[in-house]
Amino acid sequence: MNVTSKDGSVVSWGGEVAGPILVHGASGGLLAVSLYEAEIGVEGQAELRKVSFFVSENTRQAIKVRAGANFEGAIRQCVGRYLENRIRNKWIPENKEFFSVDQYELISIYNDLASTAALV
């Protein structure tokens, strides 16, 4: 799929989000976040860019309450929609960019997807 930003940049993305990936702290213990990743291609750039999204355990649990057994698939879809929305609003990520996804925003995306029966 191609996503065009407001400034006309075209980003190609297969629509796939990998994850969850457990995150370990410096001491080796698990952190209360999971990592989701996507690879995108930017028009005019030869290399793919890996973009990583931290999703807190609280956010994951909030989606789980709403989505039930398929909550992991629902989270991946929500992170994918978040990425699409950001690109459309002129944000073109750099390679190996990491950022956290806000719980309120991810739940809002989930509610939008659920209300239009777009969740698979």
Query: In the predicted model, what is the mean pLDDT of residues 14-43?
Result: 92
The predicted model scores a pTM of 0.88
Domain boundaries, the chain: 2-115
Q: What is the C-alpha to C-alpha distance for residues 112 and 30, in angstroms, rounded to an integer?
A: 31
Q: Which two tokens stand for residue 72?
A: 């992991």
Q: What is the C-alpha to C-alpha distance for residues 13 and 11, in angstroms, rounded to an integer?
A: 6
From 6-10, 53-57, 72-76, 98-102, the region with the lowest mean pLDDT: 6-10
